[in-house]
Amino acid sequence: MTRPPDALNIHELREIARRRLPRWLFEFVDRGTEDEVALRNNRAAFERLKLDTQVLVDVSARDLSTEVLGQRHRLPIGIAPTGAAGLLWYKGELELARAAKAAGIPFTLATGSLTSMEEIARDVGGTLWFQLYIWSDLALSLKLVERAKNAGFEALVVTVDGPVPTNREYNVRNGFELPFRYTRRNTAQVLLHPRWFAGVLMRYVRDGGLPTRANYPEGETESITRPTTTSRVRKNDSVSWEDLKRLREMWPGKLMLKGVLTATDAERALEAGCDAVIVSNHGGRNFDSSMAPITVLPEIVDAVGSRTTVIVDSAFRRGSDIVKGLALGADMVLVGRPTLWGITAGGEAGARHAIGILEAEMSRTISYLGCTSVDQLARHMVRTVDTPHLPSRM
């Protein structure tokens, strides 16, 4: 395994990633959408939350494990689905899944990932969740669900927060659209980052070619430099609760709905038979006027928390952020970019390092709160104050 990167926190991992990656790739992962208000507000929302401390409590025996969906996890975090890991590090999804398994936490494989679900299940294992986008050709999506079932994935995460393609203007400027456009500027960026060029891109080329979206159906799996041919695997702006109910009928495992931001939608998810809702605004990447998930979390927990599992993601960068989410009633927190920065900086070792940083920070935070386990965290420990500035750190 590669040596762990020299980073004391997630912000430093991000800086390493910024230096390693061509600018168009770094920005694709790092940035938000349109004016990036949602991205900044996601972070600002955490800065408004403070935690009440408790002194003179014996907190020497701390345990961060938690039970989610009938299974005990060593930490109250999971890896969010991101289609980019395989671009950041050679076979990045395998490395990320291995890091998750080593940490005793779930790994979610994205529909658009560059490693197939069968390979992840065969070569890594652990607690595996599969993220699904419902395509315009529903039958193709259902085939994917069948494959996930056969490969032994425990849960299906259906992402519904992007009925239409999002408006990430910097990707257009950078030429980083699918299919990839070769411009003088983005080619120069590749040459300026020889470590990524040789360590990621050229390794794929030596292996037989540029990576493909390995879970796409046959005939749709072209390399990332070629267009997604047909409209069969495009985003589907007519997906409805009825489609979700069909998925529920055919999926025997746990079903989670990702991208819920209101109590009403959380109620509907329950009615449709979901086992969990994931409160998420896609890390500020999809809809720039969306609420910060951490802000709406309490009202969603109040509405459905006693009857279902509530998971949250978006902008968790410190262990203290995660503790805030758990204290506000989430059963688990997913992280996206923090572990992507980890694999960029050092493959599996880098992802383990990112998880280790968050673990140490969570452990430190609960000890300040006078707690020894995550079950003891409660909403009264969190207070909201006004902070007049937007944060400088993302």
Ligand X SMILES: Cc1cc2nc3c(=O)[nH]c(=O)nc-3n(C[C@H](O)[C@H](O)[C@H](O)COP(=O)(O)O)c2cc1C
Count other Cβ atoms within 10 Å, centred on residue 92: 27
Indicate which residue of 11, 282, 353, 380 is catalytic. Answer: 282
For the window 136-165, what string marks contact with ligand X as x by the rule CB under 6 A? Answer: -----------------------x------
Residue 25 touches ligand X, criterion: CB under 6 A: no
The partner residues of 50 in beta bridges, in order of sequence, read 383
d(CA 394, CA 392): 7
Counting contacts by CB under 6 A, is residue 314 touching ligand X?
yes
Check binding of 288 to ligand X (CB under 6 A).
no
Q: Which stretch binds ligand X (CB under 6 A): 67-75, 176-184, 209-217, 312-320?
A: 312-320
Query: How far apart are alpha carbons 331 and 305 in whole angstroms?
Result: 9
Pick the closest to residue 263 from 166, 332, 326, 329 (CA basis). Answer: 329
Nearer to ligand X, 73 or 258 (CB): 258
* Tokens, residue 28: 């694709």
Closest distance of CB 257 from ligand X, Å: 11
73 counts as catalytic: no
| CB-nearer residue toward ligand X: 159 or 372 | 159
Query: Footprint of ligand X on residues 107-126 (CB under 6 A)?
Result: 110-112
270, with CB counted inside 10 A (0-12, 13-18, 19+), is middle
Give the angle 30-113-104 at the CA atoms, nearest 5°. 85
Residue 244 neighbours by CB distance under 10 Å: 20
CB 163 within 8 A of CB 235: yes
Q: Provide, rounded to whole angstroms, the least separation between the CB of residue 53 and ligand X.
A: 26
Name which of 287 and 316 has its Cβ closer to ligand X: 316
User: Residues 66, 82, 127, 372: which binds ligand X (CB under 6 A)?
Assistant: 82
**Is the Cβ–Cβ distance between 29 and 84 less than 8 Å?**
yes
Residues 190-229 that bind ligand X (CB under 6 A): none
CB of 250 to ligand X, least distance (A): 20
Q: Mask of contacts with ligand X, 320-349, x by CB under 6 A?
A: ---------------xxx------------
Residues in a beta bridge with 371: none
Q: Is 61 exposed, middle or buried (0-12, 13-18, 19+ CB in 10 A)?
A: exposed
- Contacts (CB under 6 A) with ligand X, residues 246-285: 258, 280, 282-283, 285
Which residues form the catalytic set? 282
Q: Report the interface residues with ligand X, using CB under 6 A.
A: 29, 80-84, 110-112, 131, 159, 258, 280, 282-283, 285, 313-316, 335-337
